[in-house]
Amino acid sequence: MFGSPTETRKITLDLLRHGEPEGGVRYRGSIDDPLSATGWQQMRHATAQAMAPKTSGSGTTWHAIISSPMRRCQEYARELADTCNLPISIEPDLKELCFGDLEGLTPKQAWEQHPQLLQALWQDPEQTTPPGAEPYSEFMQRVTARLEHIIHAQPAEQESIHLLLVVHGGVIRASLSHFLNIAPADSFRIEVPYAGITRLKLYLEADGSYNAALSFINRFTGDS
């Protein structure tokens, strides 16, 4: 049972996907586009909704912000950290997957130009790597290793820690895959909208092991 007396600490991870970037929807891993005006609005809306008081109690309060270095994440993360007077760290290993030859293409263009590659990628991402792209297994390894480092770097004397991670759709899917034992191919079927917040709670034992629970997915999206 989650939250049993033997569990000494709880770490809550709120995974916030960036808002809409300039250039709209396209395969954008290593391309460093900034947020569009709509993207800024989406992210401000999402975090304002999260922090707003609820009928059941107070709104969300984060202890720190952790961000991808990409502009579509980092620039808003820094604004929020300044506004809320929160510490912020930038984690290069939380960058999005690089899509290689698919970079910059809209979904329609990608399907028109690379139909067989796209079909294989969706069916088996671990065994399908577009030319010039980062292998999915390497992406998973760098993301999950950094997440584990973040978890175990938190102060042991603090019983409850709440972190906001401003990241990418691929990083959120990788996190769900890692913590909830979802196969990577199945995680590709999880929609992650712009400015959606997904919450994971990790209940840590004294030996450093933990149980993970999904509280909600894609809440407070900029589309709501």
The rounded mean pLDDT for the chain is 93
Query: What does the CA dihedral 180, 68, 150, 162 come to, rounded to 10 degrees?
Result: -80
Counting Cα atoms < 13 Å in the Cβ hemisphere of 80 gives 30
pLDDT in tens, 68-100: 999 999 999 999 999 999 999 999 999 999 999
Checking if the pLDDT of 143 tops 90, the result is yes
Of residues 91, 96, 134, 168, which has the active-site annotation?
96
Residue among 197, 152, 178 nearest 11 (CA): 152
Residue 114 annotated in active site: no
Checking if the pLDDT of 5 tops 50, the result is no
Q: Which residue shows structure tokens 């191919």?
A: 185
Task: Looking at the structure, give the CATH architecture of the domain made up of residues 9-219.
Answer: 3-Layer(aba) Sandwich (3.40)
Residue 205 annotated in active site: no
User: What percent of the chain has pLDDT above 70?
Assistant: 94
What span, in angstroms and rounded, lies between the C-alpha atoms of 159 and 9?
Answer: 5
Angle ∠(199,177,68) on CA atoms, nearest 5: 65
Of residues 18, 20, 91, 168, which has the active-site annotation?
18
pLDDT at 2: 52
